[in-house]
Amino acid sequence: MAEKIPYDEFGMFHENAEEYGLPFTTQPIVRREFVSVSSDRRLSALVWDRGEPEFVFLHGGAQNAHTWDTVMLALQRPAICIDLPGHGHSDSGAQPTANDLPLQANASDISTVIAELAPNASVIVGMSLGGLTSLALLRDHPHLVRSLVLVDITPGVNAEKAKAITDFVNGPATFPSFDELLQRTIEFNPTRSVSSLRRGILHNALQQDDGTWVWRHRRTDGPALPEVDGERLTLDPSSLWDTIAATSIPLMLVRGMRPQSVVSDDDENELRRRSPQAKVERITDAGHSVQGDTPLELAQLLLEFEN
């Protein structure tokens, strides 16, 4: 029988702080909340601090709310970090219908959580799938989005740009040991420290009774989504360019400039064309996971953007 690796969800913040040189004198005030989004489904969120949340964070596909931990320690602001449907501690999303595409369904669930836990938040921050979900939220529930930050994502993302990510996500369903899971994660995340990847796996994977490991997030067979009326749905966010063009709220794109980014120069130019008032920030040392590669820089940009 393989040794059981201990996991304390709120016991690793000191490691985040030490790695990035942040002061750590007391344990941060963080709790996990669950919000019912239907009669049989709940979404989960981490609630940071006791004050009224100023920020809402939505993570990327195959991630979870803890991806923002170092950003939150640097930010020092009340916020909620939501586990997307089918990720982290959240139940799977509603089954999409032909007229209810996955991003729309995600946005509907997320709107319920925000309305209950952070109805007056001033900034929505969405990375990758969370960024596309936040754009769908802006389109369908605009009263909840007062300003928006997109972290390394635009509606111009496609299968080719996201290939490295989907190759990683669609890897083995189970791993014989933690070390094998860690090694694969290191290979696909060359910009991250081993210590941060180890923490990330403990938050994002489960050790089963036989000692093997599986990811927390719901897997699909490739990037495609469930079938509806015999037709397989695919995620096409291109219509969300119109949402960007139509909005007048403050908008910022934070773009990683390493090869792992899924944002091209053409995407950036299209965003500037659709929203001339939008702010664009390029981070040289970040890939796609800006919050993991350069969390302190991202936190500083968010503070400046909020003010």
Write down the pLDDT at residue 205: 96
Residue of 49, 109, 152, 267 with catalytic role = 152
Structure tokens at 55: 């920020």
Q: Clarify whether 288 is annotated catalytic.
A: yes
Q: Clarify whether 128 is annotated catalytic.
A: yes
Domain locations in the chain as residue ranges: 13-159+236-306
Write down the pLDDT at residue 139: 97
Residue of 49, 109, 288, 289 with catalytic role = 288
Q: Which of 52, 124, 125, 36 is nearest to 85 (CA)?
A: 36
Residue of 44, 111, 128, 289 with catalytic role = 128
Write down the pLDDT at residue 190: 87
Q: Clarify whether 152 is annotated catalytic.
A: yes
Write down the pLDDT at residue 245: 98
Q: Could you tell me which residues come within 8 angstroms of residue 25 by beta carbon, excluding any fewer than 6 positions away?
A: none
- Measured from the Cβ of residue 39, the count of other Cβ atoms closer than 10 Å reads 5
Write down the pLDDT at residue 224: 38
CA 254, 255, 258, 263 dihedral sign is positive
Provide block-wise average pLDDT over 10 residues at a time, the chain (307 residues): 86 97 96 97 97 98 97 98 96 65 90 98 97 97 98 95 89 94 93 92 95 82 38 70 98 97 98 98 97 98 94
d(CA 250, CA 307): 11
- The model carries a pTM of 0.94
d(CA 280, CA 282): 7
Whether domain 13-159+236-306 has CATH 3.40.50.1820 = yes
